[in-house]
Amino acid sequence: MQSGRYDQFNCYDALGVAPNATLQEIKTAYRQASLRSHPDRGGSHEAQVRVNLAWETLSDPISRQAHDTYWQRPATAGFTPPRSTRETPRRESTRRQPLSGLRNRVYQHVERAKATIWQDLNNRVQRNENEFKQQLRNERLQTISILAGLFIVGGFAFDRAYPLLWAGEALLGWLFISRLAGVQIAGRTFSLLKVNWRDLQEHAAHVANNSCIKDAGELERHFLSLSSISELLLRPSSFDDSEEQVARRLSASFFLMGYIPIRFDPQDRTLAFSDGEESILVRFRHRSGIATNITYVEKLVDLMHAFRIAKGFLFCSPGLSGNAANYARQNKVSWYSLENMNQWIEQVLVSDYTGPAGDILEHLDKLRGFIAGIAPAISGRGYYRRFRF
């Protein structure tokens, strides 16, 4: 966003959202405001421009922070602000802990999932009890079948001196005797001759309780995912990092902003994300040396046009040449050098983003798998034939 735009009006007021609104809430408010302000719906061109600028400002963490900082400061001596800037700033100067919004959301979802698991305990006990009783019945029927086989084979063995019949008789006899010692049901031995149904019920409850403990414990992996994301984002990138490491940081950053990573192509150094409604395309280049030329930007723009993606991001560690930067601005591509990328990610961390809408625990599992899959061994061949939005 061009410097100075955010000093013309309070963008939160323009969209009708609170200063602590999430990115999804801001996006929803922007669409509603666009419908109201569009000239074809009784609005005006000026109103539409105002709404678009508000969305452009608040959808990027760097420009949003600049906007918030501006509206927190008092007017300095000798400075007369425009009329619209005399509004009372509503956002307090607070600095949140990194990932606080996502951490709180994951914690709440994990606790709800645990509560659901334990609420299902009685149902698990009943299912286990029914399953164990049926297993005992089946074992008894098989034992009776073995006993019947003993008599039948034994009758033939006495009439005919066939060694195979005697061998079969011995095998059936061993099976019958071994079953009299009891059968295993979920790790515990039960007698077939005299079943203690109370013990069976207690065993069903014990197994169900252990399954709840196991399932609730497995939810802790989501906190490990949070820890991995935090470790990935908190350490600033340097030229010593690989491009794959930078791609992982970018994936985690956009995930935090509400976008799910859906594609990675190491050949063209592109990442694709979607929040279910909007898709974005990211291209990165991480190396030292001279500024990146216009060709690199043109490739991103061509891909955006080919797949009808309106928003593009370019992360080029050495920066862009003058022509490349101008071309990026003309095509509404936001670009960042290594230093600016670290600032951008830092601002994402403290902006209280809460991640994609929907089942955040499922999304975390997918992100973890996606980040783990970003490696030089992944081939991008045929990638764009599969690229669909």
Residues 68 and 164 in one domain: no
* Local confidence band at 194 (pLDDT 50, 70, 90 cut-offs): confident
DSSP three-state, residue 15? helix
Residue 378: pLDDT over 50: no
Residue 36: pLDDT over 90: no
User: According to the model, what pLDDT value does residue 87 have?
Assistant: 39
Domain boundary (218, 248, 268) is at: 218
Residue 376: pLDDT over 60: no
Residue 183: pLDDT over 70: yes
Residues 150 and 80 in one domain: no
Q: How far apart are CA 34 and CA 15, in angstroms?
A: 9
Cβ(204)–Cβ(132) below 8 Å: yes
Which CATH number do you get for residue 324?
3.40.1350.10
Would 156 be classed as within a structural domain? Answer: yes
Residues 170 and 35 in one domain: no
Q: Which long-range contacts (CB under 8 A, 24 or more apart) does 115-121 make?
A: 117/212, 117/215, 117/216, 118/212, 118/216, 120/212, 121/208, 121/209, 121/212
Would 229 be classed as within a structural domain? Answer: no
For the chain, give the longest Cα–Cα distance.
121
> How many domains in the chain?
3
Mean pLDDT of 207-228: 93
* Local confidence band at 248 (pLDDT 50, 70, 90 cut-offs): very high
Residues 64 and 185 in one domain: no
Cβ(25)–Cβ(97) below 8 Å: no
Would 110 be classed as within a structural domain? Answer: no
Would 233 be classed as within a structural domain? Answer: no
Domain boundary (159, 185, 218) is at: 218
Residues 128 and 57 in one domain: no
Cβ(292)–Cβ(321) below 8 Å: yes
Which CATH number do you get for residue 70?
1.10.287.110
Residues 213 and 242 in one domain: no
Would 109 be classed as within a structural domain? Answer: no
Domain extent at residue 146: 119-218
* Local confidence band at 317 (pLDDT 50, 70, 90 cut-offs): very high
Would 231 be classed as within a structural domain? Answer: no
Residues 194 and 137 in one domain: yes
Cβ(38)–Cβ(48) below 8 Å: yes
* Local confidence band at 61 (pLDDT 50, 70, 90 cut-offs): confident
Mean pLDDT of 127-153: 78
Residues 380 and 246 in one domain: yes
User: According to the model, what pLDDT value does residue 170 have?
Assistant: 66
Going from the C-alpha of 208 to that of each of 51, 115, 121, 133, 215, the distances in angstroms are 55, 15, 6, 15, 11
Would 351 be classed as within a structural domain? Answer: yes
Tens digit of each residue's pLDDT (9 = 90 or more) over 88-127: 333 343 456 778 889 999 999 999 999 999 999 999 999 9
Of the given ranges (38-42, 70-74, 245-249, 345-349), which has the lowest mean pLDDT?
A: 70-74
Residues 368 and 244 in one domain: yes
Contacts (Cβ under 8 Å, ≥6 apart) of 358? 276
Residues 246 and 358 in one domain: yes
Contacts (Cβ under 8 Å, ≥6 apart) of 363? 255, 260, 355, 356
Q: Exposed e or buried b for every residue in 2-22, given b needs 16+ CB within 10 A?
A: eeebbeebbbbebbebebebb
Mean pLDDT of 281-292: 91
Residues 33 and 146 in one domain: no
Q: What percent of the chain has pLDDT over 90?
A: 37
Would 366 be classed as within a structural domain? Answer: yes
Residues 259 and 151 in one domain: no
Q: Strand runs (DSSP E) across 266-379, as ranges?
A: 270-274, 279-285, 311-316, 333-336
